[in-house]
Amino acid sequence: MSLHSDAAAGVLTEAVLDRYLKVCSIDDQSAERGNGTVGFTPLALAAQNGHVDTVRLLLLKGAQVDALSSQRRTPLWIVTARGRDSNNRHEIVGDLLSHHARAEYFDPALHGGSTPLENELRRLRDPEVIRLLVEHGGTTDEATKLAAELGKPEIDDAMQSTRQRSQLRAAIAGLISAIALFIIAWADNPEVTAIIDGVFKKFAISGDKGISQPGNLVEEISEPKSKEDFRKSISTFVKEKELHKFFPTDDNPLLETLVNKAVDLQNDDTSVLGQSTNTESLVKFALYQPVIYCDDSGSMDPAHNAKGEDRWADQRDLVCRIASICTQVVPDNFGMHLRFINTEPAHANDLRMPDVKEIMSKVQPGGSTEIGVNLRKRILEPLVYNTKMTRPLFVSIVTDGIPRGPSGSQETRDTLRDEIIKCQDWLLANGFPPRSVVFQISQIGSEESSKKFLKSLKDDSRLTSVYITTQQLDSEFRELKQKERDLEAWVIASPLRQPTFPG
C-alpha cells in the first residue's frame, strides 16, 4: 500500500497519512505503475473516485486544492472530466470550491481549453455540480452555449448566477413574509382575489381556503378607514378568536396605539401596507407577539451543505423583512422576539428593525439541529409555561433540515412534533384558547429529507393551529421574478377569510 493507492481506494486514515508524510509530500504525483494512479496527486485520486472523507482529510492536512496532476490537471478539473458518477460527487466539488479551487481553470492542451463547467455539461450534467460551479465563477460563453443546447429546465435553473439569485432574494423574502400575514389575518373579508388559489397551490398550505368568489384586487381595494372602523373591526376579531384573556376591554392601551398607528400608516402612499384593507390585517397580526425561530445549524452555510445553497443569507433577508412588517404599527417598546437553535443573543426580545439587522449580521451558522429541544427551552418555557402571557404568540419556524442532535441529545425526529402537541395540551389545561399560540413551519433550501419531514407534520391531524409549507419556497416563484406587480399583489393579498385548521 502507498499514499496514492490508499487515497484512490478511500481507505486513508489520519494516522496512516501522518506516517506517509514523513517520507513524501502530500501533493506529490504518483510514480506507481500498474494500479491506475500514475501521474495523479492523492487529492485528485480521492476526488476522482468519489471518496469525500478522504478528500476532506487531505484538505485538512494541507493538500493544495489546485495541485496539478500530469497534463496540468487540477482535482476539480479531473472530477468533472473523468470523476465517477457517485452520489456524493457534488459534495466533493463543494469541498474543493469551498477551499478556493479555481472554478474557471483551463489549460489550452486540455480538451481544447475546456473548463470544469464545460466538462460537466458535456459529461455527467449533474445540476447540483453545475450550480456550485456557476456560483463560484465558473461560467463561460461556451458553457452558456452548451447549457442552451441541452434544453433542459433543470440545467437552465442551475446555470443562474449568484447575482441573479440574489436579485430574487428580496422578492422571495417579501413573499414569505406575506405568509405570516396570511396565516394570522383571519378576517371575514369578501375582497379576495384569484391570487388566493395560487397561495394554496404554490405553498401547499394545509387547511380549507374558505374563499368567496374571486374579484379584481386592484379594483376592489377598499376606501380608507376611520379610527372607529379599525376599532370595531379589531374588537370583532378579538371576540371571534376568543382573545379576551389578553385584551379584556376595548380601551386596552395596546389596541388604541395599534389603531392610531394604523390610521397613520394608511395615509402613507409609499407603502403597499398603506392600503386600508392590508393595514387592517396588519393590525390584527400585531395583536400577536411574533417570535421568529431561526435555524443557525451548520448546514445553513453554503460551504457545509451538499447543494452549496446560501440558506443563511436567504433566512437573514426573510427575518429582516418580517421585522419591518411586524414593527409597522406596534408601540415603540414592542417588537419582534428572535430565537436561534444554537445561538443565544444577550438581548433578543422586542426588537426593532435595526436590532434585528445587527443580530443577524453577527450570528454565524454552526452546530446541530436541536429544533424541538430548544423550542421548549428558548420559547415555550420562558414565553408560555413560566410566565403570565399578555399577548398570544405567533411562532414562525424556519429550517433547512430534519431535527438532529449531537451524541447524547434528547432530540429525535419526533421532538418538534411532541413539543407542539404538549403546548396545545397545556393551553387547554390552563384555560387558554387554542389559538393563543400559533405555529408556522417553513423550509429554506432544497433538502429532500426536510420536505418529507415537513410533509409528515402536515399530515398529522393532532397538530392544530399549525401551518406548514411543504414546498421549497424560493423555487416556487421563478415565474414571478419578472412580474413585480404580481409580487406586490402577493404582499397585500393577506386579509382572507378564516382557514380551517386541521382537526
pLDDT of residue 27: 97
pLDDT tens, residue by residue, 422-431: 999 999 999 8
Asked if residues 443 and 469 have their Cβ atoms less than 8 Å apart, the reply is yes
pLDDT digits (tens, 9 = 90+) for 2-58: 999 999 999 999 999 999 999 999 999 999 988 889 999 999 999 999 999 999 999
Closest Cα partner for 67 from 45, 88, 92? Answer: 45
Q: Is the dihedral of CA 184, 186, 189, 191 positive or negative?
A: positive
Alpha carbon distance 18, 223 (integer Å): 76
Neighbours of 369 (CB within 10 A): 26
Task: Please state the rounded mean pLDDT for residues 59-71.
Answer: 96
Any idea which of 186-200, 230-244, 272-286, 360-374 has the lowest mean pLDDT? Answer: 186-200
- What's 401's DSSP letter? S
Query: In sequence order, what are the beta bridge partners of 46?
Result: none
- CATH architecture of the domain with residue range 163-492: 3-Layer(aba) Sandwich (3.40)
- Distance from C-alpha of 471 to C-alpha of 354, rounded to nearest angstrom: 30
pLDDT tens, residue by residue, 270-307: 444 444 455 555 556 667 788 999 999 999 988 888 77
Contact 142, 118 (CB under 8 A): yes
What integer pLDDT is reported at residue 412 of this predicted model?
Answer: 94
DSSP 27: T
Q: What is the pLDDT of residue 458?
A: 85
99 pLDDT above the threshold of 80: yes
CATH code given to domain 3-160: 1.25.40.20
Which range (203-212, 222-231, 258-267, 459-468) has the least confidence?
203-212
**pTM, whole model, 2 decimals?**
0.52
Percent share of the chain, pLDDT over 70:
68
Written as one string, the DSSP assignment of 110-134 is: STTT--HHHHHHHTT--HHHHHHHH
Q: What is the mean pLDDT of residues 303-331?
A: 74
Q: Is 209 helix (H, G, I), strand (E, B) or coil?
A: coil
The answer to whether 192 and 497 have CB atoms below 8 angstroms apart is: yes
Amino acid at 254: L
Q: Does residue 81 carry a pLDDT above 90?
A: yes
- Residue 228 confidence class, pLDDT cut points 50, 70, 90: confident
Domain boundaries, the chain: 3-160, 163-492
pLDDT at 164: 56
Please tell me the least confidently modeled range out of 124-128, 378-382, 383-387, 400-404: 400-404
Q: What is the DSSP letter of 449?
A: H
Query: Would you give the DSSP letter of residue 394?
Result: E
pLDDT digits (tens, 9 = 90+) for 438-487: 888 888 877 778 888 888 988 888 988 787 765 554 444 333 333 333 43
User: How many CA atoms are closer than 13 Å to the CA of 390, on its beta-carbon side?
Assistant: 5
Q: What is the DSSP letter of 466?
A: E
